Amino acid sequence: MSASTLERWRSDALSQPRSDSKVWSAAARFDALLTTAAMDETTKSAWCRANGVLLHDLQLWRQTAAQSLADPQDQRASPSQTAQDRRRIKELERDLRRKEKALAETAALLVLSKKLETIFQKDRDEDK
């Protein structure tokens, strides 16, 4: 059996949710963090096994909680980043308007060419 087959099976297995895992609400995750905050690593690992939580998930929950409680000033974009974003938005809007005009022109030309085709086809039919 090739290594690529085993790697594919492994990635498929890891991408599927565990059947025995339960969905933890935000309040339950917060309670778990409070419960395990003062525990040492071995006690925390035992608690995780008993409650069906991976230690890695517990660490992710802690990081998410810390980010959620961060000062809004820390999460706010800098003025230079905001100016760059505004410039980029204006550029994209300008590009979008140009493309919309080109599309409308192409549609109008297509309609006109179809009308001309039907007119000249009628003229040829009348000549016969």
Q: What is the distance between the alpha carbons of residues 2 and 78, in angstroms, rounded to a whole number?
A: 50
Q: What pTM was computed for the model?
A: 0.42
Q: What is the domain range of residue 126?
A: 97-128
126 occurs within a structural domain: yes
pLDDT computed for residue 44 by the predictor = 92
Instruction: Give the pLDDT of residue 91.
Output: 97
Are 29 and 66 in a shared domain? yes
User: Does any domain span residue 128?
Assistant: yes
29 plus 65 within the same structural domain? yes
Does some domain include residue 83?
A: no
What is the count of structural domains for the chain?
Answer: 2
The pLDDT, as a whole number, for residue 46 is 92
Q: With respect to residue 14, please indicate whether it lies within any of the assigned structural domains.
A: no
Within 13 Å and on the Cβ side, how many CA atoms surround 47? 17
